[in-house]
Structure 1
Amino acid sequence: MTETAPETALTDAVSIGNVDLPNRLYRAPLLECAGNGPDAVKTLIDELEPTAASGVGLIFQGASIVTESGGCAAPNMTRFHDPEFVTKLSRLTERIHDHGSKIFVQLAEGGLRSMSMWHAEYRDRHPEAVQKAVSRPPWQLRLADRAGIINLQTEVLSTPEVRELAEAFGRAAGYAVDAGYDGVHLSGANMGIIQQFLSPYYNGRDDEFSDGVQFLLAVREAVRKHAGDVPLVTKVPVETASPPFVRRHLTREDSLGIARRLATAGYDALVPVDVSVYWDMSVVRGAYPQRAWKASELQTEYATVFGGRWRARAVSFLNRLESMWYDRDPGWNADLCRAVREAVDIPVLCEGGIRKRSHCDRLLGDSCDLVGMARPFYAEPRLGARLLDGKKRALCESCNNCAIPQATGEPGRCRTPSVVRERARLEKEGVYDRDE
């Protein structure tokens, strides 16, 4: 069992595997919307270096796709299948290291969550696109497909194809290590392919991968083969936030069992998260993003993405319902993290609605070994300078105005005027300046 003294603070050093971190604050994975074009490296540097400069000990670069085509859950996601491209990212890792921080890349594949399922414009441009599926999709998704709400064009992975997908994760990890990345984070939740392997809602296979943990074990083997002993982290989902009509899902006991097996198998850290079986606001809990949905400059884009203005309004309406359904308590994963931490002897990372420095320190004395924030870094890229200096809380209001426009390919940024004004004031006062 991992033990952390009650007086453990955010500024204390910690290790994940063979990587030493200067403190226990991390930037959780976010969409950088950098793509793979000629400006991708610069975009990632502009997005991530300020966070390193602010003193944050660990930065998780957002979900990067391991395959050459398909698999993207949102526009402008970066792909890590091409070693020539990933090599160029050494410029990014060097800049992060210059500030004393470490950087892990999150590797992903969208599976049924891929854009060809939900993004109307993408489907029009790629009518041949299919989604990788663990097994036949659940009846609720098939019904939504027949109703024209989504577009299921699935290809159920054969056993050799599952093994090849695990190899793709391993190869991408190898390219990342060669480019100077310090570790690998697997996108094991948010309805990506890894969650689909783990979830009884999605996994109806009859081969060795009917036990979804076997896929994560195959990925670990591939990572060790291609990337050596680089630290390997994964999210571990619990699907208790699922709608009540979903009867088969990952329970807490299921996920505790998964966590124990992964720790025993040699994973270096775990990120327990309470999510739904669907890609919904269980991922980004908070207020209904009123400003984002009403933005006049985005109305045409929303209609294009969702297949018409009425469809866009329907998505907005569901968004509003979900914002009322999901619990917005700060640190909503804390109880789950505590249970996992009591069950394993590797570091446990906690994220989800955490905004206050005092809350960070309480969690470190009880539920986890590192504390992460995501959306607050859209509002304040150099947030670390304030939190590590003992300031009370992040400016982020959990309003989600930063996240919804990403469906159209817009970059993640704070769009709440009061927050933007306050950040500008703090910048003018030099609050984010830090002697390195």
Structure 2
Amino acid sequence: MNTKYEPLFKSLTLPNGVELKNRFVLAPLTHVSSNDDGSISDIEIPYIEKRSKDVGLSITAASYVEPLGKAFPGQPSVSKDADIEGLRQQAEVMKKNGAKAVIQIHHGGAMSLPGLTPNSDVAAPSEVEVKGFGQQEKHTARALTEEEIEHSIESFARATKIAIDAGFDGVEIHGANHYLIHQFFSPYYNRREDKWGDHLKYPVAVVDAVTKVVQEHGAPDFIVGYRFSPEEAESPGISMELTQKLVDVLSEKPLDYLHVSLFDIHSKTREGKFEGETRINLISEWVNGRKPVIGIGSIFTADDALNALNTGVELVGIGRELLLDHEFVAKIEQGKEDEIISEFDPERTDLHELPEPLWKQFNAGFYPLPRKDEKSTTN
């Protein structure tokens, strides 16, 4: 190994005492490959096993906690006892080579797809029109009732118990990317005038419900993480000033890490009093060592990973790159970083060893990423 990359392979101990073997994290990646009922499919198992084998922490695709929250075709479920057997198989292969296996628990809220939810029903903090995953036209989400809000919180708690029963090492609460928890935190999506109009109330309620289940049913070393988006383009939307409040609250909760969802880890704040400052640097400063922070966004080479770690985060999330080359981490460790595959090649006969539904999305230019041909890389 080139000695400059050694910091990426140092172990890290989480607040609950769990030791991660290195600083690499398999990011939660939408793969559209689960069975229609949300159960784990045969093609998912080898897919995630290959991408978990060299990282310290491995996170599943966003898994819906109740049918109303299903936001992607081929999305996995963590909503019912019947899911446990498939999830158990998934957890086993994720942990096989020493990674800690974490399942991301998720609710689409307004972004749930009418064609996938019961009775085509879609609900959010407030009524809103949105365009969901892969959709050409907008759909309308109605406002959740207070009873439904309470039920959704219970669904996150139930999903946590299912994750424990399935043998996962932890859960990641998906509070990012315009999904339900994000929506409650956002002034754009949440215009409620009842108690749930407090933008911090729902995220905190979910965290408290999840950690309560862990305290009652999980082992002391069960991991709980939280993912969030620090800023959004909508107006009035989530600002870095609002995110500073969220970070301060989350940093005092019994969480084991915070995961910052960024398309580019070096991106800068777009407006407000922090305009022009690098988001990940601000967040690391606000967390101030109280929790490990995962940074992510457009990391395709060994130097990208090292530069990400050098921003001050403790862990580096690798997403699209581990889809392109599941040996990314191993190649760095073996001093073969020049052999890393960092472009999508539609001519590869092995399809980058991706499930066919995911490869088709890559080939269609659905995800922005480097590629060998000239097809558009924007959705």
Fold match, TM over 0.5? Answer: yes
Report SS of the residue matched to 1:372: strand
Question: Once the two structures are superposed, what CA deviation does each residue of 1:325-361 show, in whole Å capped at 9, x if it has no partner?
Answer: xxxx664379322211111110110001012222322
Shift of 1:8: 7.1
Aligned length: 334
- Asked if residue 134 in structure 1 is aligned to residue 77 in structure 2, the reply is no
Please, what TM-score do these two structures have when normalized by structure 2?
0.79
Partner residue of 1:395 out of 335, 341, 351:
341
- How far, CA to CA, are the matches of 1:65 and 1:127 in structure 2? 13
Q: Which amino acid aligns with 2:294?
A: L
CA RMSD of aligned residues (A): 3.2
- Asked if residue 42 in structure 1 is aligned to residue 42 in structure 2, the reply is yes
1:353–1:398 contact (8 Å) kept in structure 2: no
Q: Which amino acid aligns with 2:267?
A: W
Partner residue of 1:375 out of 320, 323, 348:
320
- How far, CA to CA, are the matches of 1:99 and 1:133 in structure 2? 39
- How far, CA to CA, are the matches of 2:260 and 2:161 in structure 1? 25
- How far, CA to CA, are the matches of 2:346 and 2:292 in structure 1? 29
Q: Which moved more, 1:128-137 or 1:167-176?
A: 128-137
Question: Comparing both chains, which one has the higher relative contact order based on Cα–Cα distances under 8 Å and sequence gaps of 6 or more?
Answer: 1
Q: Which amino acid aligns with 1:396?
A: S
- The residue that corresponds to 2:281 in the other structure is 338
- How far, CA to CA, are the matches of 1:339 and 1:28 in structure 2? 21
The 5 A counterparts of 1:95-244 are 95-116=93-114, 122=115, 128-137=119-128, 141=129, 149-152=137-140, 154-228=141-215, 230-240=222-232, 242=233
Q: Which amino acid aligns with 1:30?
A: L
- The residue that corresponds to 1:270 in the other structure is 258
* Cα pair distance change 1:400/1:65, threshold 3 Å: farther
* Cα pair distance change 1:143/1:34, threshold 3 Å: closer
The 5 A counterparts of 1:273-312 are 273-274=261-262
- The residue that corresponds to 1:16 in the other structure is 14
Question: Once the two structures are superposed, what CA deviation does each residue of 1:379-398 show, in whole Å capped at 9, x if it has no partner?
Answer: 11232211333444742337
Structure with the higher fraction of residues in helix conformation? 1
Question: Once the two structures are superposed, what CA deviation does each residue of 1:294-344 show, in whole Å capped at 9, x if it has no partner?
Answer: xxxxxxxxxxxxxxxxxxxxxxxxxxxxxxxxxxx6643793222111111
2:284–2:313 contact (8 Å) kept in structure 1: yes
Sequence identity percentage? 25
Shift of 1:177: 1.3
- How far, CA to CA, are the matches of 1:159 and 1:39 in structure 2? 29
- How far, CA to CA, are the matches of 2:173 and 2:92 in structure 1? 22
* Cα pair distance change 1:143/1:410, threshold 3 Å: closer
- How far, CA to CA, are the matches of 1:142 and 1:24 in structure 2? 36
- The residue that corresponds to 1:307 in the other structure is none
- How far, CA to CA, are the matches of 2:281 and 2:85 in structure 1? 38
- The residue that corresponds to 1:83 in the other structure is 81
1:236–1:259 contact (8 Å) kept in structure 2: no
2:34–2:41 contact (8 Å) kept in structure 1: no
- The residue that corresponds to 2:57 in the other structure is 58
* Cα pair distance change 1:132/1:97, threshold 3 Å: same
* Cα pair distance change 1:399/1:149, threshold 3 Å: farther
- Asked if residue 349 in structure 1 is aligned to residue 284 in structure 2, the reply is no
Q: Which amino acid aligns with 1:361?
A: L
Please, what TM-score do these two structures have when normalized by structure 1?
0.69
* Cα pair distance change 1:260/1:389, threshold 3 Å: farther
- The residue that corresponds to 1:297 in the other structure is none
- The residue that corresponds to 2:237 in the other structure is 249
Report SS of the residue matched to 2:172: strand
2:40–2:90 contact (8 Å) kept in structure 1: no
| Unpaired segments ≥5 residues, structure 2 | 269-276, 348-355, 365-369, 373-379
Shift of 1:133: 1.1
Report SS of the residue matched to 1:366: coil
